[in-house]
Amino acid sequence: MALLPKLVELWLDLVSLLWPTACVGCGEPDRDCCLPCRVELRRPAPLLRPEVGTPCFVRGAYAGVLRATLVAFKHGGRIGLAGELGAQLRAPLGAAISACRGPAAPVIVTAPSRRAGTRRRGFRHVELLVSRALRGQGVRALRVAALRAGPGRRSQVGLAADERARNAGRVRVRASRCAVLLGREVILVDDVITTGSTVLACRAALAAEGAIVVAIVALCHAQRRDTRGIQV
């Protein structure tokens, strides 16, 4: 087993010769995320608990290496970072699953991105993070793509608080998913919580269809002054 990390590093060395890259955290060449930055990213820390009216579990602040890694994944095409970020989502997601009490498996629902953002990236980034977080964990949960961005929804960047709330409210539950949500415990997952307007709008839409949102999960919590480039 001790040989495996060495083989991985050798493989990364070979890949870097063909596709040069730089660390998203410090700019060091040859790695998307260098060893010191990975150590910093993986450093254990208590989960953040933003007050949004529902139990909320967040991996960390939208700062430092965690922020840089998410931005590179979400906006910079560094899809290879999904595994690292998914691993960081495991602790808050696990805490949320532990908060569920019903006999049925909880339903995991991700906050929706705008269609333009999904087309640009080529994938649904929050769903991909959840997939990586659950991989190999043996978690009993049902994943349902229940939410979609409604007409007129735009980026939250630069909007005042009241504008963010109105814009976030343009979210809908897919009609074909209503039956599976009725009476079920739901864990709502997003990548970043700022003012909470997006998750509150999603929670309201789900509750209107009879879902019981027992917990909210996010990778990062951003202060209001720190919102550039985090919403799509």
Interatomic CA distance for residues 135 and 35, integer angstroms: 23
- Please tell me whether residues 36 and 81 are part of one structural domain: no
Residue 215: strand, helix, or coil: strand
- Across 23-66, the runs of DSSP E, i.e. the strands, are 56-61
Q: Supply the pTM of this predicted model.
A: 0.84
| Whether the predicted pLDDT of 222 surpasses 60 | yes
76 located within any domain: yes
232 located within any domain: no
| Whether the predicted pLDDT of 79 surpasses 80 | yes
Q: Give the closest residue to 130 by CA, choosing from 139, 122, 121.
A: 139
Task: Give the pLDDT band of residue 1 (cuts 50, 70, 90).
Answer: very low
- Please tell me whether residues 56 and 29 are part of one structural domain: no
Domain count, the chain: 2
Burial readout 32-55 (b: 16 or more C-beta within 10 A, e: otherwise): bbbeebbeebeeeeebbebebebe
- Please tell me whether residues 28 and 54 are part of one structural domain: no
- Please tell me whether residues 57 and 81 are part of one structural domain: yes
What's the pLDDT at 159? Answer: 61
- Please tell me whether residues 1 and 86 are part of one structural domain: no
| Whether the predicted pLDDT of 135 surpasses 60 | yes
- Please tell me whether residues 115 and 9 are part of one structural domain: no
- Please tell me whether residues 83 and 185 are part of one structural domain: yes
Q: Which amino acid is at 179?
A: A
- Please tell me whether residues 132 and 24 are part of one structural domain: no
- Please tell me whether residues 69 and 35 are part of one structural domain: no
pLDDT digits (tens, 9 = 90+) for 90-117: 999 999 999 999 899 999 999 998 777 7
Compute the chain's Rg from CA coordinates: 18
Phi, psi for residue 103 in degrees, rounded to 5: -70, -30
| CATH value at residue 145 | 3.40.50
85 located within any domain: yes
- Across the chain, the runs of DSSP E, i.e. the strands, are 56-61, 107-110, 142-143, 147-149, 171-173, 185-193, 212-221
231 located within any domain: no
Output the CA torsion 107→154→72→158 (10° steps).
-120
- Give residue 197's domain range: 47-226
- Please tell me whether residues 72 and 21 are part of one structural domain: no
69 located within any domain: yes
Q: Tokens 């569920």 map to which residue?
A: 100
Q: Which residues pair with 212 in a beta bridge?
A: 185
Mean pLDDT value across residues 214-229: 78
- Please tell me whether residues 7 and 75 are part of one structural domain: no
Return the higher-pLDDT residue of 127 and 10: 127
- Please tell me whether residues 15 and 79 are part of one structural domain: no
Task: Give the pLDDT band of residue 230 (cuts 50, 70, 90).
Answer: very low
